[in-house]
Structure 1
Amino acid sequence: MTVDVQIWSDVACPWCYVGKRRFEKAVERFREEGGDVQVTYRSFELSPDTPVDFEGDEVDFLARHKGMAREQVVGMLAQMTQVASDEGLDYDFAALQHTNTVLAHRLLHHARAEGRQEEMKERLLAAYFVEGRHVGRVDDLADLAAEVGLDRDEVVAALSGDAYLEQVRADQEQAMALGIRGVPFFVLDDRLGVSGAQDPDTFLGALRRAAEEQPA
C-alpha cells in the first residue's frame, strides 16, 4: 500500500516549506497505519524572471513583484513568519537572499538521480528561509549539495552546463497541463490532487483515499 506522491513546489515558496512539514506529519501517521509513501519533487518557478542576484530584500521584491505597499508586505511577512513558527520553522526574511531558482531545481533533479532528493529539498528550503544562504549560484549550491552527501565536483559539472534543464522544463509543462497555477500542489497516484499547504488531517485523508482506490 504505497502511495506515489508528486509535489510541485519552489525553493522560494514559503508555503511550500510549511506544506512540507504538514505533509510529513500526515505521512508519519499514515505509516503508523501500515501505509507508505513515495515522494518525488517536481519543478515550479514562481518568479522565473528573477535575477540571480536581486538587489534588495524580500520586502523590496514583493512590493515590486506584487505591486503592494511596503507596510502591507511587512505585515504579510510577519504573519507568514508566525505560521512557519507554528510548524517549528524559524523563517528569517530579513536575511533571505532572493534569487532565481532554476539552478536549484536542476540540482533537485540531480539529487533525485543520486537517490538524495528529499534530503536536498529540505537542505535548500532551510538554507533559503532560515539561514539566509544563497541558492541561486553554482558554488553555493554545490556546497549545500556536499552537505547532504552529494559529490561536489559532479554537482558543479552538472550545473555549469545544461544538465537536467530539460527535466525542469518538462515538470513545468506538466504543471501547466494539469492546470497547476500555484504551489505547493500534491498529486497522489496520478489521480488525486491536493492544492496548498493543507493541515495534516486533510493530507492524511487524501493518502487514505488514494490507498483505498488503488487496484486490488
Structure 2
Amino acid sequence: MSIRVIIADDESLMRSGLRLLLGAADDIDIIAEAAHGAEAIELSRELSPDIILMDIRMPVMDGLEATRTLMAQASHPEVLILTAFGTDEFVLQALRSGAAGYILKDTPPDELIHAVRAAANGTRTLSPSAIDSLLGGATTSATEAGRFGPTGAGALQNSSGPDPLEPLTSREREIAEAVAKGLTNAQVARALFVSTATVKTHLARIFYKFDVSTRVQLALLVNERR
C-alpha cells in the first residue's frame, strides 16, 4: 500500500521538485499540495493523508501552528517538518508540537525518502545537523545549570559526573553514539558490519536500560558525557 503524502510549502518550485522526487518512489503517492498551513489542514481533513511534509515559514499559517492544530485532532496524519532552518528553537518547537521528524532541505534525496517511510511507520527522524543544533542547545543549558546550580530533577549532569553510558556493553555504546550522531539503523549496521536487525535489537535494549522511547532522548543522554 502506498504512503499518501501532502506537500505543504509556499514555494511552488519546491513543491514541484518534491513531487518529482518523492513520486519516483514506488511506495509514495503525492495526493495534494498546499501553499500554507491552513490549506494543509483543510486538505488533510478532506483527503486523510498518511504524511504531511510541512515547511515551517509559510503565509497565513506557519508549519508549527499547523502541526499543533493537526495533532490536537482525534485522527491526524504524521507531520514531517522539511525546512531550511535547523536552529534548536525550531527543532524543539517542532518536536513539542508532535512532529514525526525534522529534516533540512539540503538532505540527500534517498534520506528524505527514508524519512517519509520512517514517519509512516511511526519512527521519528532528525537530520544530523538538526540533532547537532538540538544537542548544542542542551550543552548550553547544561553549562548554565552548572554555573547557577541545578534547575530541577531533569538537569543534565556535568562533565565531571558519572558516565551516563556506563550501563551499556561496548557494542551498545557504539550504537548509542552512532545514533546520537544522526545515523539511521541501516547506516549504523553498515558502519559496524552487522545486520539492521541486530542494530534494532541492541537499540531496544538501550532504550529499555535508559527508560527512553526516542532517538532524540537517547542523543541528549549521550551528549551528557561530552
Using the size of structure 2 for normalisation, the TM-score is 0.26
Using the size of structure 1 for normalisation, the TM-score is 0.27
Larger radius of gyration: 2
Higher RCO (CA < 8 A, seq sep 6+):
1
